[in-house]
Amino acid sequence: MEAQLKTTCLHGSHISLGAKMSPFAGFDMPIQYSGIIDEHNAVRNSAGMFDVSHMGEIFVSGKDAFAFVNHIFTNDITGQKDGSVLYGMMLYPHGGTVDDILVYKEFKDNCYLLVVNASNIEKDFDWLVANSKGYDVHIENASEEWGQIAVQGQDSQSVLEKLLGLDCCGNLLFYEFCDTVYDNARLIVSRTGYTGEDGFELYSSPEVICKMWDILLKGGVKPCGLGCRDTLRFETGLPLYGDELSEDISPVMAGLSIFCKPEKPGGFIGSEAIVNQKTNGVARKLVGLELTDKAIPRAGYPVLNAEGVGIGVVTTGYRSISLDKSLCFALVDVAYASLDTRVQVQVRHKAFEAAVVKKRFYKTKYKKQ
């Protein structure tokens, strides 16, 4: 028997909006409302909003919270300012990826919020608990008590100011957050996202999230599904856990070494493996590929060299909506990973010419100053 799908606090709204629903990470989630292309363009050109209440929220506090988070997290939280966010990973000792996460430094000493992928909530929580021996910390999985909306696109700030009165938005730069109250519930407003555009993520109680969603909807903000969330993140070179990062794909392989700081005091779980991979190299690396033809590469399709020998595999691929090109991420043997290398992608019965290009296909528009 199929496991019962979980639902977010906005499920009823998705149904009444006529969204095309599909299982994702154990949740019944909206893939699209008006259409993936329309929703994608709304985020690129103005603004759109996503129900991302399925994401996990794990709070870590206690005397040793700083030392513990720095132990399990690849980035370095030493000196992380209150109200700032850091991206990084949790790794297995062999360097494979447990999850890629955001670490929020709260406005209290030794208090952190870890935002994790929906598909990994239980695994991450168990991993944190299992690795907390000897640390005086309290680890709480609060995922079910929090809803989340992402409002993304260049108009996001004005929309949130005008429709929700969130005046703190204007004070935030990329990867900063404010911790406030809305209708007596705690509200975290963070200038983060997964689309390559300027935008915000709002975390609050399911009741507040539902109320805000309805206000934004009435105010004309376009609801966007997970379909375009994927096309948007893909175009701007952002990885998805399960595709570009996994137990078998380390951040070094994925080209995310910049988020790993093994030189920090004490390192982190997996730092020896990361140093080793950086020193001695890895067998495969994640690259961007651009096809010369209109054929569309899809996850799992083989990548071949000029002689037709298999040298890799596609992890995510689309006909890019913003660029009108056939593009993909692929894990390929390092001999084929440098820019401009000519390879082929097997699409059904034919092999198509492709070249290695930068993974950030589309320019990001974050508000960094």
Contacting residues toward other proteins, per CB under 8 A: 20, 31-32, 35-37, 40, 227, 231, 294-296, 298, 318-319, 321, 347-348
Q: How far is the CB of 72 from other proteins (least distance, A)?
A: 34
Nearer to other proteins, 35 or 165 (CB): 35
Nearer to other proteins, 232 or 256 (CB): 232
CA separation, residue 302 to residues 4, 258, 308, 313 (Å): 34, 28, 10, 5
Q: How far is the CB of 227 from other proteins (least distance, A)?
A: 6
Nearer to other proteins, 22 or 257 (CB): 22
Q: What are phi and psi of 114, to 5 degrees?
A: -105, 120
Per DSSP, the residues of 2-63 read PPPPB--TTHHHHHHTTPEEEEETTEEEEEESS-HHHHHHHHHHS-EEEE-TTSEEEEEEST
CA distance 103 to 85: 6
Nearer to other proteins, 144 or 293 (CB): 293
Environment class of residue 181 by beta-carbon count within 10 Å: exposed (0-12), middle (13-18) or buried (19+)?
A: exposed
Nearer to other proteins, 264 or 298 (CB): 298
CA distance 184 to 158: 23
Token representation of residue 36: 């993936």
Nearer to other proteins, 213 or 318 (CB): 318
CA distance 333 to 352: 18
Q: How far is the CB of 310 from other proteins (least distance, A)?
A: 20
Q: How far is the CB of 298 from other proteins (least distance, A)?
A: 6
Question: What is the amino acid identity at position 351?
Answer: A
Q: How far is the CB of 2 from other proteins (least distance, A)?
A: 19
* Residue 266 CB contacts under 8 Å (≥ 6 apart), including other chains: 67, 70, 71
Residues 10, 54 contacting (CB under 8 angstroms): no
Q: How far is the CB of 365 from other proteins (least distance, A)?
A: 22
Q: Which residues pair with 241 in a beta bridge?
A: 245
Q: How far is the CB of 74 from other proteins (least distance, A)?
A: 31
Nearer to other proteins, 298 or 365 (CB): 298
E strand or H helix that includes residue 163:
helix 156-164
**222 in helix, strand or coil?**
strand
Environment class of residue 216 by beta-carbon count within 10 Å: exposed (0-12), middle (13-18) or buried (19+)?
A: buried
Q: How far is the CB of 297 from other proteins (least distance, A)?
A: 10
Nearer to other proteins, 37 or 142 (CB): 37
Secondary structure percentages of the chain, helix, strand, coil, to 5: 25, 35, 40
Q: How far is the CB of 52 from other proteins (least distance, A)?
A: 18
Nearer to other proteins, 31 or 354 (CB): 31
The owner of tokens 């903000």 is 221
Q: How far is the CB of 215 from other proteins (least distance, A)?
A: 29
CA separation, residue 168 to residues 16, 152, 154, 165, 256 (Å): 32, 16, 17, 9, 31
Nearer to other proteins, 211 or 319 (CB): 319
